[in-house]
Amino acid sequence: MKSVYEPEKAYNNREFLDSEEARTIRILSEILEPMHRLAKHKVHSTVLFLGSSRLDPGHKESPLAKYYWEAEELAFRLASWAIKLRPQGKNFVICTGGGPGLMEAANRGAARAGGKSIGMNISLPEEQAPNPYISSELSFIFHYFFTRKFWLVNKAKAVVAFPGGFGTLDELFETLTLVQTGKISRRELTIVLYGEEYWKRVLHFDALIESGAISPEDVRLFSFCSTPRKAFALLKSELKKFL
């Protein structure tokens, strides 16, 4: 008896799913799958760490080397504190972009505290492998930068920007813009620029004010900290209002 051809169901059709016509479906998948998984693992809120992927803690001569261990220590302190606050879920979970450098440092600090942590990686021409300290069930990989940035900030109650380059600046300024324009309430997100000397050398906020590009009150959208102890004290004080 001649067999009847059974066509592929659309949601199993790899050729279609990889096509230009299905791009909207792929984008939607990068919104819905993280939403599902974060809810499944009861992640209520996060603290987002930004910073350079190029920093190697083994290169002690690097001017940024000290920030690796300071990020690790700050993440350790935050995770140690937050672990005790989660009787019905996880609050203030350490979240990073999932790569090496300062992202690895933050995931490492959370792991040292015995806490779960999130890594939201992205596929690039030069592949960036997830660092080994991310909790496996909370390790994500994105194709689209904008869906990744959406999830980096979506559950964040605080953002800590360590020294970094174009990627860090992109993520920091998009977050500042969202708060400045009221898309995210100023009361809902604490922004810390860690390493005052670095940031004031790289970004001339006074020049932006003097030129009229930003308002004087815009520099109140963030705070500077330069030690894990002071950053932890500030973040703990701000985060307590969400408990």
User: Quick one: tokens of 120?
Assistant: 């939201």
Given a contact cutoff of 8 angstroms between Cβ atoms, the answer to whether 69 and 57 are in contact is yes
Nearest-angstrom CA–CA distance, 192 and 224: 6
Nearest-angstrom CA–CA distance, 164 and 101: 10
The pair phi, psi for residue 215, each rounded to 5°, is: -90, 155
This prediction's pTM: 0.93
pLDDT, residue 89, reads 75
pLDDT, residue 127, reads 66
CA dihedral 153, 155, 160, 165 (to 10 degrees): -20
Q: What is the DSSP letter of 133?
A: T
**Contacting residues for 84 by C-beta, under 8 A, at least 6 apart:** none
CA 188, distance to chain mean position in Å, is 16
pLDDT, residue 85, reads 86
CB atoms < 10 A from the CB of 149, how many? 18
Q: What is the DSSP letter of 163?
A: S
Nearest-angstrom CA–CA distance, 113 and 85: 14
Q: Greatest CA span in the chain, whole angstroms?
A: 84
First to last CA, the chain: 68
- Nearest CA among 165, 158, 162 for reference residue 196: 162
pLDDT, residue 60, reads 79
pLDDT, residue 87, reads 65
Please report, in tens digits, the pLDDT of each residue of the chain (243 residues total): 556 778 889 999 999 999 999 999 999 999 999 999 999 999 999 999 999 999 888 887 888 999 999 999 999 999 999 999 866 778 999 999 999 999 999 999 999 999 999 999 999 887 678 999 999 999 999 999 999 999 999 999 999 999 999 999 999 999 999 999 999 999 999 999 999 999 999 999 999 999 999 999 999 999 999 999 999 999 999 999 998
- Which residue segments constitute the domains of the chain, with CATH numbers given? 43-242 (3.40.50.450)
User: Quick one: tokens of 129?
Assistant: 């492998």
- Nearest CA among 174, 177, 176, 124 for reference residue 150: 174
Helix, coil or strand: residue 94: strand
pLDDT, residue 57, reads 85
Nearest-angstrom CA–CA distance, 154 and 45: 9
pLDDT, residue 69, reads 96
Nearest-angstrom CA–CA distance, 219 and 216: 6
